Amino acid sequence: MNDITKTDHAKNQITHNGVEYCLMPVPDHEGWVDQSWSKMPGFVGEVVADKSHIDGFGHVNNMVYPNWAMEAAWQHSDRLGFPFEKFNELGVGFVIHRHEFDYKAPVLEGQRIQIATWVDENDGRMKLIRAYEIRFADTGRLVFKGKTLFICVDMKTGRPARMPPLFAQTYQTALESSR
């Protein structure tokens, strides 16, 4: 079995390609500023920036934000019923075709941020766009926003593949709940 991603809900930990992440889910979206998100999130997680996130400029390194966004995406997909094992079972999965990120404010060590993600577009065939926002937990001020275009592929060949009906339906429901 391909063991690229493992989720340990008891520890709120994801291991992806050998890198461990810890993003605390915010239960039932409690504790976030309701009006701050652009759309209703499918998943909201929280993290406090620690020393390992900080670069030579004294703020969170630019590569950490996309890692947090991808971690939130994995946790959201897992909650929708699509852990990596399900991709293997179905023989298809999503791969990244394109990222688009905007950095709006620096995050410093010790600052608490919340990361939200939702399905932004779903053509029901091969393409899915997921959106992200990272905001300061205490003020709701935007730190980072972005989108990722995912393409459904055959897990054995790596070639584009049509989404199975289960993907199309589940991600369409997630899209509709984010409006």
Residues in a beta bridge with 63: none
What's the pLDDT at 14?
Answer: 47
Count of domains observed in the chain = 1
The helix (H) or strand (E) run that includes residue 73 is: helix 64-79
Provide mean pLDDT across the span 108-135. 96
- Whole-model pTM: value is 0.82
Asked if 116 and 71 touch (Cβ cutoff 8 Å), the reply is: no
Asked if 99 and 146 touch (Cβ cutoff 8 Å), the reply is: yes
Provide mean pLDDT across the span 126-137. 96
Domain that holds residue 146: 5-177
Provide mean pLDDT across the span 130-155. 96
Which segment of 75-89, 119-133, 149-163 scores lowest on mean pLDDT?
Answer: 75-89
Which CATH number is 139's domain given? 3.10.129.10
What percentage of the chain carries pLDDT values higher than 70? 80
Provide mean pLDDT across the span 101-119. 96
